[in-house]
C-alpha cells in the first residue's frame, strides 16, 4: 500500500512544537515578530502572503505585512527593509518573490539582516548552508526534510533525484540531501531543463523531489516500484471552477501513486509545510536575537 503523506497533519504537529517554543519566549517577555513585504508579485502572491499572516496569528507570532506599489523604484523597497532591519520587534523578514522586473533580486536579498533572513536566501546564509553550518534552512526544503522524517523515510544511502535547480527549492534541497547530517547522506542528482534523459534518472531513483513548476510532468512510467515521491509544484491551471483555476502539482498523482511507496500530494503536501517552517524559522530568529533558548 502506498503511504500518502498528509502535509496538513505533519504541519500541525510541527506547529505544536512551534507553539511550545513561543510559550518559552513569551515567558521571557519576547513575542516573535515576522514582517512580510509584498511588492507586486504574481497571481498567487497575495494569497500566499495572507496565508502566512493567518498562520502567524494562529501560533502567536506578531505578523505584519508591508505592501509596496510595484511601480515604485527599488529604493522604496530598500528603505522598508532598512527600517525592518532596525526594528527590534521584528525578528524575521520575508520579501515575497517574485519581485517586479526593475527590482534587482540579489540586491534585495543581500539587504536583509542575515539574522532576520527567515527565508535563508541571504548569501551569508546560503554560504552557511552549503558549508554545512546552516542558520536558517530555506522553508520548502526544510519542510520536506520534516515531512520525510515524519513518514519514516531516511534519505541516507538513497539515490535521490531533485528535479529543478531554483535558488528557493532545487539547490537548497540538493544541498540538504547530500549533507553529512540527519535527513541527508543521500547520493544526489539534480536534473533540469537541459538534462538529456530525465526518465533514465528518475527510474533509477529511490527518492524524487519534483520542483520544476510544470503541471504533472512526472508520470508513473518514469518511476520504479517503491520510489518515494515528493511533489513541490503548486501550478494554477485553467479549470471550470469558481476561481477559474485549480491547483495541480508537478506530479501526475494517480499514475505516480501506482509506483510509489510514499507520495506527497499537491495541494495538501509540501505547501502547508513551507508556511510552517517559516513560523519555525521566525521562532529561531527570535531566539537568536533575544538570547532566550528554545527547543526546536
- For strands 33-39 and 92-95, give the pairing: parallel
Catalytic position from the list 113, 116, 117, 119: 119
Between residues 227 and 248, which has the closer beta carbon with respect to ligand GUE? 248
| Min dist. Cβ of residue 163 to ligand GUE (A) | 17
- Determine the Cα–Cα distance for residues 75 and 273; give it in Å rounded to an integer: 33
Cell output for 264: 506527497
137 tagged catalytic? no
159 tagged catalytic? no
| Min dist. Cβ of residue 109 to ligand GUE (A) | 9
Between residues 22 and 94, which has the closer beta carbon with respect to ligand GUE? 94
Asked whether position 95 contacts ligand GUE by CB under 6 A, the answer is: yes
> Segment 229-288, which members bind ligand GUE (CB under 6 A)?
234, 247, 266-268, 271-272, 274-275
Q: Which of 14, 77, 93, 94 binds ligand GUE (CB under 6 A)?
A: 94
| Min dist. Cβ of residue 118 to ligand GUE (A) | 9
| Min dist. Cβ of residue 96 to ligand GUE (A) | 5
If 0-12 CB within 10 Å is exposed, 13-18 middle and 19+ buried, where does residue 280 land? Answer: buried
Encode burial over 123-143: b for 16+ CB neighbours within 10 A, e otherwise.
eebbebbeeeebbbbbbbbbb
Asked whether position 162 contacts ligand GUE by CB under 6 A, the answer is: no
- Determine the Cα–Cα distance for residues 11 and 18; give it in Å rounded to an integer: 10
- For strands 92-95 and 62-68, give the pairing: unpaired
Residue 164 labelled as part of a binding site: yes
Question: In the complex, which residues of this chain contact ligand GUE (CB under 6 A)?
Answer: 47-48, 51, 94-97, 119, 139, 234, 247, 266-268, 271-272, 274-275
Residues with catalytic annotation? 52, 96, 119
Amino acid at each position: 500500500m502506498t503511504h500518502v503523506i498528509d502535509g496538513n497533519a505533519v504541519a500541525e504537529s510541527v506547529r505544536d512544537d512551534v507553539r511550545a517554543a513561543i510559550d518559552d519566549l513569551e515567558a521571557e517577555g519576547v513575542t516573535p515578530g515576522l514582517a512580510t513585504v509584498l511588492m507586486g508579485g504574481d497571481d498567487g502572491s497575495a494569497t500566499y502572503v495572507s496565508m502566512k499572516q493567518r498562520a502567524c496569528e494562529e501560533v502567536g507570532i506578531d505578523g505584519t505585512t508591508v505592501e509596496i506599489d510595484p511601480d515604485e523604484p527599488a529604493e522604496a523597497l530598500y528603505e522598508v527593509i532598512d527600517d525592518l532591519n532596525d526594528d527590534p520587534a521584528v525578528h524575521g523578514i520575508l520579501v515575497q518573490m517574485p519581485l517586479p522586473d526593475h527590482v534587482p533580486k540579489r540586491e534585495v536579498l543581500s539587504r536583509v539582516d542575515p539574522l532576520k533572513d527567515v527565508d535563508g536566501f541571504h548569501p551569508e546564509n546560503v554560504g552557511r548552508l552549503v558549508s554545512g553550518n546552516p542558520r536558517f534552512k530555506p522553508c520548502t526544503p526544510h519542510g520536506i526534510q520534516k515531512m520525510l522524517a515524519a513518514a519514516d523515510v531516511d534519505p541516507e544511502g538513497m539515490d535521490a533525484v531533485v528535479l529543478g535547480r531554483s535558488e528557493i527549492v532545487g539547490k537548497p534541497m540538493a544541498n540538504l540531501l547530500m549533507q553529512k547530517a540527519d535527513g541527508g547522506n543521500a547520493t544526489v542528482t539534480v536534473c533540469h531543463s537541459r538534462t538529456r534523459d530525465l526518465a533514465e534518472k528518475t527510474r533509477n531513483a529511490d527518492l524524487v523531489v519534483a520542483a520544476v513548476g510544470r503541471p504533472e510532468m512526472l508520470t508513473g512510467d518514469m518511476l520504479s516500484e517503491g520510489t518515494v515521491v515528493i511533489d513541490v509544484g503548486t501550478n494554477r491551471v485553467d479549470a471550470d471552477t469558481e476561481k477559474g483555476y485549480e491547483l495541480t502539482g508537478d506530479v501526475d498523482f494517480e499514475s505516480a501513486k501506482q509506483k510509489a511507496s510514499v507520495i506527497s500530494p499537491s495541494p495538501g503536501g509540501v505547501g502547508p509545510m513551507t508556511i510552517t517552517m517559516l513560523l519555525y524559522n521566525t521562532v529561531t530568529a527570535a531566539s537568536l536575537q533575544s538570547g532566550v533558548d528554545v527547543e526546536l
